[in-house]
Structure 1
Amino acid sequence: MTMLFPYGTHDIISAISSIGFVLFVFINGVQMDFSMITRTGTKAWTISILGLVIPLSIELAPLVLFPEKVQAIEKAIGHGIYVAMISHSISSFAVIASFLSELQIQNSELGRLALSSALVTDIVRTTITTNIVAIMSHPNVEVILRNLFSLFALAILIPLVCRPIMFWIIKHTPEGRPVKDGYIYIIITMVFGLGVLSVNIDQEFILGAFILGLSVPEGPPLGSTLVKKLQFFGPTFFLPIFVTTSVLKADFPTHISSLVTVSMGLVILATHLIKISICFITAFYCKMPVTDALCLALILNTKGVVEVGVYNSLFDNNILNGQAYGVLMISVMITASIMQWSVKLLYDPSRKYAGYQKRSIMGLKRNSEVRILVTLQKQNHISATIDFLDLCCPTLENPITVDVLHVIELVGRALPIFIPHCLQRQVSGSVSHKSYSDDVILAFDIYEHNNENAISINTYTAISPANLMFEDVCNLALDKVASIIILPFHIRWSTDGAIESDDKKILRALNQKVLEIAPCSVGILVTRANSIPKATTTTSEHSTARLAVIYLGGNNDDEEVLCLVKRAMNNSRINLVVYHLVDKDCKGDLEQLIVNGDEVLQEVIHATNVRYQKIFTKDGSQTACFLREVANQHDYFIVGRRHETHSPQTDGLTEWSEFPEFGGIGDFLASPDLNSCASILVVQQQLSRKNKHRG
């Protein structure tokens, strides 16, 4: 210790690294959506309030019933018992948000409930503790009244003065442009200036930073910019140093006696058992499954960097002695490790998607309603989605229901948001308020109006972390009993073949995860220039669209493709060609295979506006030559993703695969080197339960 930290240097490093803790608290305040308090459901309020009040009441009972015995213990170990009981009864929003982010479950139903409960608890805890500190900080009544008045003034004036200034900054920032650095520097200066004011009224330095963070409008452009600017210097760089220097203050081998260890250890253990029991019983009473209720109770009991900062401050102010401080630091490490391991072992968010019911277009009865979930992220996905819906040919006789999910990356906020716009209209009575998805809502409202009684469209917005967007997609597909999910491809080409956009980070990861765990069939849509004529248009208005199906047979994906194109056959403005790729060695048995093996294929090829063509190929190279020939003869291709492992027609196609999520034929058709203008839909039928696993 002396060699690494000569006299005085430890305190200097600790003081400088405290900046990391201040910025961490400020960033978490920015990421909190304080208005969520008013929109949080009764379940979250019930769990958070009962999980806070009942444990504290039970634990404080011995202090009232046996004050002499408690005071005797307190003389030996300082105020450690009081601090241990109160701190381990409270849930910290920042700690739980980081905990859920590490486990990548903050976007699950359990994660959302845990964040909402922690938000309520954190606000209530901050309100109570700041008032208690103001009352107990000084024996003089006049000083106490002054501190309370200053505290209320700080809590009221910061939002009233600073929040309008923040909105003025947002208003004067052009759309799509970053916030000026000068504004960011002013806000950072305000963080530390308000911290000084907090200290002057006998409060913690971080209180002013926390209130200012709550005053910042969450999300882009200002909230997201502040988070990006401060993330490195705060949580990434300074905060780990702060935690290290805080733990260095505890000299475990020499200062921890058996009395301190046993008494405080029992208090901490009893506190956690009581809080876990109360949270579990409350969640179970709210009709949560047993496993989920237990996981929620464990999550709300986790501890982390916020508790480290609190203990460090109490130790510096001589409220905690070195013995109690060491035990509390160890308790944080043990609790965090146990809770994370337990939740990871118990909770698998993907298990609910592995249902036994088959959900696919192939599994639907004839002329039954088709439910489609369409996912989009950017504005250019709207036209491609509408083209696909035209391909499905919604009519009065064959209506379809479409759920449109607009996914947006979560930046500058901690709470994921899911907005059903149909409910918004019912509550507000209009759509005059601004939405994240105004263009999406307007486009699909117009499309629904133009296809009245033939199509029903519901629009949703999901704002979540990029790596957890699949949760929103699969959850909505499960809730709406969708038969197929349509996803946009991460690359978009212009009419001349140039790449317009490439979003591997979000869309490709989303597609791969949805393909793995989706509760229904999945289609990935590769968008190029062509569109599908409307089923209701006349011959003189539009030319015929050329649709092609590449069919190999022998797998469920190809059958799903045929069931999908059966709907397209209702559109008289679509010419359909079915290319049946057959191994040259099977020429003699082909007719018998068609008659005996594929009723869906027979139904399709005998339709009036369908041309059926057998293509005999020996291996993947001949298949590739054929695909090059027909690539520019059609406007739209539909192909199954998976084919037989030892299919001669696809041998060699996957060796140089650029997009494995497309399969051999789909990957070849989607390749930028093909120079085709045709759009492509790659279809995968729902994976069987035994093939599903958590990624």
Structure 2
Amino acid sequence: MEMLDNYTSRNKVYGCYDTAVSNANDIWQSDSVLTFYLPNFAAQIAFMLFANRCLYYLFRPFNQPRFVVEILVGFMLSPEVFGRTQFFQALAPVKLVVTNETISYVGLVYYVFLAGLDMNLETITSARKKATTIAIVATVIPMIMGGAMYTLLQTMYTGPPEYLSRYNTNKAYMFWTLIYSVTGFPIVTQILADLKLLYTGLGRAALTVAMIIDFYNWVMFALLIPFALNEKVAMYSVISTVSFVLVCFIVIQPHLVQLVVRKTNQNEWDNCQLFYVVMGAYLFAFVTDFLGTHPVVGALVYGIMLPRGKFSNLLIEKTEDFASVYLAPLFFASCGVRLRIFSVIESQGLALVVIVLVLSCIPKVLSTVIATQLFGMPVHDGVAIGLLMNTKEILPLIMLIVAWDKEILSVESYSIIIMSVFLMTLLVPIIINGIYKPRQLYKQNKLRTIQNLKVEAEVKILACVHNPRQATGMINILEASNAIKLSRLRIFALHLVEITGNTAALLAAHINTQSGSQSLTDSEQDLENITITFKDYAEQNENISVDILAAVSTYSTIHEDIHIVAREKQATLILLPFHKQSNIEGILETMNEAFKDINQSVMRDAPCSVAIFVDRGLGSLFKVNLRLLMVFFGGPDDREALALAWRMSKHEGIQLSVVRVNMLGEAAQVDLSPQAESRELFCAVMDCEKQREFDDEYVSSFRLKAVNNKDSISYSEKEVHSGEDIPLMMEELDKVGYDLYILGQGTGRNSLMLSDLLKWSDCPELGVIGDMVASNNFGSCSSLLVVQQYGFGGMVFENTTQNPCQLPKNDCESEDVYVEVEL
């Protein structure tokens, strides 16, 4: 009844009612559960799911987290919006409030338990000084400024005098300061992942700082909440709770981890056994509640105790919907129902509310700017991290509900803080997107292509892999590219992981993957094996360095992560695996059709040159000599492929054969199908002639500098008169038995014959010739590397003001080209 009395005394909207209803049931002195409570509760759940889903898709283009939507749905149920309508009064009758609150706390306890699973204590304890310092400063300064803001609010209050004496207490200051120090780690991870900033320097710094702050906040909550719940015995509650936590981690956790890991490795978990694990969260919640601390503290401790990896992912996958989708929204909605922002504006004035809301955004930003300046970070990075640290989630809402039920904070304070939490979380993705994802000018220069890379320049290759087998195959391509000893090879190995289940848990796992005695998930095991493969290769070569990264995202948007990493690392070449792999019989079989879509999306707007590797069991360069064949039809992609083959030919274990194909007669017809209506025949012919001049110039340079000086390099020419000649020519070349084909994708050739053949290709990302060689019908046993040059293949030039006949500048020219792209 305490909460219902609060509704009556504070808002004069709901009236108290008698919970003892006379009926024939001697055991339960209330209405029948099956005829009243259950149907109404089911109706509320259905409405919550429907409203959340609709608003989520409405706000999704703005990268808004579910937290914002769930608070908004609750506000819709408040008396200030639709709560007084007959529909909503029938949907959420007053006598169902206690039932909903009780069941929502069941979801809340489990939601916090999942939050404990997200926390990685090893990452927190091993964090560098910079992240820890920023986290401490971003916690302490907001606490101090939060107390100052509450003093300002009390000073500007215009209500009755008894208000100041009732709410101007130490408990009120404690809650106000704690709430402003909070950062929601799961929300930060979701925002960074949605904005594709997770793998930037800003993203990694913000994620680590958010995890540390979130841990500090929970510790302070556990230590200080007893003073709000029962001040007389608060010290005893704190001591007993700390003792209980120490017993859990020193005595219980080693045996619990051993049991869980053993059963996970032996795949012994079933639904019944997982149920006992879930009940452990409520047992720990009962213990901390009995000790005088909030029940969620026990659930959090239990979640932190359990081992990460395969078991935690299994548990999240099977039970996350129970808490996050069905029950937790009830708790978030209950916070929104209590919101009385319009009444506060009417009684206190809009100026007070606006002032407090604006000042609420300052503490985190100011503190992070100060802390980041100590480490020489740019100011805009400090501002961005501060904005991200302003995001809130479950913890401040728990504090506010406690303060509401205990009448520690007034309706005005509660409403203003809820609005601050809501608006800060709402605006952060929009502001960060505006700062870090604007329309920018990106410089197209020689460092983004192999063709114009200086001999002594460092080669940066972004090697994308889905599994360890692909990593093993790519090592051979990377070793072949490491032919020039004067040039250092920098490899960024990017493990592509499809996101499933809980976002924060997966992202946290890939920040700091630990093995030890804990069972790893499949993706973590793959990442560990990929790391071993690339690290072992780097240890055998002095002029090679390797960085291991992981991109965790949906397959529909993971190409954006690849683009961002390539820009961040200033890669010269993106190396992608083909979506098919060779079986024992040497036949290419599709692994995942989504890999094909990823490759095409990467090539469409890549910020550098791209190569797709079709692996048919390419032999190791450490053991055998390889024979390479580069078939040159012409165009920018073929010039880039020749540049890469030329670079590989300098390796001692490689023999390179270059075959230039001269298209004559019918095969020489120019493609007149315009990409734009303004393109005319004269433009197409001039384009073709210009490209031919570039081809002749580059091939002549290759023959002069490479063929005459290297016995391991051979050059020949073939003639093609029609489309039927190409398969015959390729079959003749394949009889030699090359280990690797290096081909250009083919954009920019302006050949009518090749354009017509491309329409029948199963894999257009490989081009006409690449699709032919990769086909199982072709019968080749050779691996294949298809290259697309940056600036011609997939890059879309948005500057359309140039003359239709004006060609884009070739990479081999000395001037820089600026391309405007939408990030």
TM-score (norm 1): 0.82
Query: Which residue among 640, 643, 664 is the counterpart of 1:563?
Result: 643
CA contact under 8 A between 2:188 and 2:207: conserved in structure 1? Answer: yes
In structure 2, distance between residues paired with 1:63 and 1:13? 31
Q: Which amino acid in 1 is paired with 2:130? A: K
CA contact under 8 A between 1:404 and 1:459: conserved in structure 2? Answer: yes
CA spacing shift, 1:99–1:645, aligned 2, 3 Å? same
CA spacing shift, 1:68–1:293, aligned 2, 3 Å? closer
Look up the match of 1:427. Answer: none
In structure 2, distance between residues paired with 1:551 and 1:288? 48
Where 2:787 maps in the other structure, the secondary structure is strand
Deviations 1:200-255 (A, max 9, x none): 2232221111112222233x211221222222222233333432243224466667
In structure 2, distance between residues paired with 1:575 and 1:57? 69
Deviations 1:352-395 (A, max 9, x none): 98575623332233476655443434232244123324544747
The residue correspondences of 1:367-378 to structure 2 (distance < 5 A) are 370-378=459-467
Deviations 1:29-66 (A, max 9, x none): 21221122222233322322222222322443587899
Look up the match of 1:488. Answer: 577
Shift of 1:527: 1.0
CA contact under 8 A between 1:548 and 1:579: conserved in structure 2? Answer: no
Look up the match of 2:218. Answer: 126
- What percentage of aligned pairs have identical amino acids? 21
Shift of 1:296: 1.6
1:96 paired to 2:183: no
CA contact under 8 A between 1:416 and 1:464: conserved in structure 2? Answer: no
Query: Which residue among 35, 41, 44 is the counterpart of 2:131?
Result: 44
Look up the match of 1:599. Answer: 700
CA spacing shift, 1:294–1:252, aligned 2, 3 Å? closer
CA contact under 8 A between 2:610 and 2:788: conserved in structure 1? Answer: yes
CA spacing shift, 1:285–1:441, aligned 2, 3 Å? closer
CA spacing shift, 1:631–1:374, aligned 2, 3 Å? same
CA contact under 8 A between 1:179 and 1:221: conserved in structure 2? Answer: no
Look up the match of 1:612. Answer: 716
In structure 2, distance between residues paired with 1:98 and 1:481? 25
CA contact under 8 A between 1:583 and 1:649: conserved in structure 2? Answer: no
Query: Which residue among 544, 548, 557 is the counterpart of 2:629?
Result: 548
CA contact under 8 A between 2:403 and 2:409: conserved in structure 1? Answer: yes
Runs of 5+ in structure 1 lacking a partner?
A: 425-433
Q: Which amino acid in 1 is paired with 2:610? A: V
Shift of 1:152: 0.2
Where 1:525 maps in the other structure, the secondary structure is strand
Structure 1, 283-292 or 336-345: larger mean CA deviation: 283-292
1:110 paired to 2:191: no
Q: Which amino acid in 2 is paired with 1:119? A: M
In structure 2, distance between residues paired with 1:401 and 1:136? 59
In structure 1, distance between residues paired with 2:155 and 2:819? 63
Look up the match of 1:685. Answer: 789
CA spacing shift, 1:419–1:11, aligned 2, 3 Å? closer
In structure 1, distance between residues paired with 2:820 and 2:269? 44
In structure 2, distance between residues paired with 1:292 and 1:585? 58
CA contact under 8 A between 2:538 and 2:546: conserved in structure 1? Answer: no
Query: Which residue among 308, 311, 336 is the counterpart of 2:425?
Result: 336
1:288 paired to 2:416: no
Deviations 1:419-474 (A, max 9, x none): 799xx9xxxxxxxxx9976655655566567xx66x64434433441348768866
CA spacing shift, 1:284–1:466, aligned 2, 3 Å? same
CA contact under 8 A between 1:45 and 1:117: conserved in structure 2? Answer: yes
CA spacing shift, 1:206–1:587, aligned 2, 3 Å? closer
Q: Which amino acid in 1 is paired with 2:247? A: L
Deviations 1:147-170 (A, max 9, x none): 122210232222334432443245
Shift of 1:188: 0.9
Shift of 1:2: 2.0
The residue correspondences of 1:271-282 to structure 2 (distance < 5 A) are 271-282=360-371
Query: Which residue among 325, 341, 355 is the counterpart of 1:266?
Result: 355
In structure 2, distance between residues paired with 1:68 and 1:447? 67
Tell me the C-alpha RMSD between the 2 structures.
4.2
CA spacing shift, 1:692–1:637, aligned 2, 3 Å? farther
Structure 1, 303-312 or 223-232: larger mean CA deviation: 303-312
The residue correspondences of 1:146-545 to structure 2 (distance < 5 A) are 146-173=236-263, 179-218=269-308, 220-250=309-339, 257-259=346-348, 263=352, 265-348=354-437, 356=445, 358-366=447-455, 370-389=459-478, 391-392=480-481, 394=483, 401=489, 403=491, 405=493, 407=495, 409=497, 412-415=505-508, 417=510, 439-440=529-530, 443=533, 456-467=543-554, 483-499=572-588, 502-505=591-594, 507-508=595-596, 511-512=599-600, 514-515=602-603, 520-531=608-619, 545=626
Q: Which amino acid in 2 is paired with 1:132? A: L
CA spacing shift, 1:165–1:594, aligned 2, 3 Å? same
Runs of 5+ in structure 2 lacking a partner?
A: 1-87, 516-523, 670-688, 796-816
TM-score (norm 2): 0.70
Work out the number of aligned pairs and report it. Answer: 667
In structure 2, distance between residues paired with 1:592 and 1:345? 43
1:22 paired to 2:109: yes
Look up the match of 1:430. Answer: none
Query: Which residue among 72, 93, 98 is the counterpart of 1:11?
Result: 98
Structure 1, 255-264 or 297-306: larger mean CA deviation: 255-264
Where 2:91 maps in the other structure, the secondary structure is coil
Q: Which amino acid in 2 is paired with 1:415? A: A
Deviations 1:615-661 (A, max 9, x none): 32445x76466556656754321112242163224212333454444
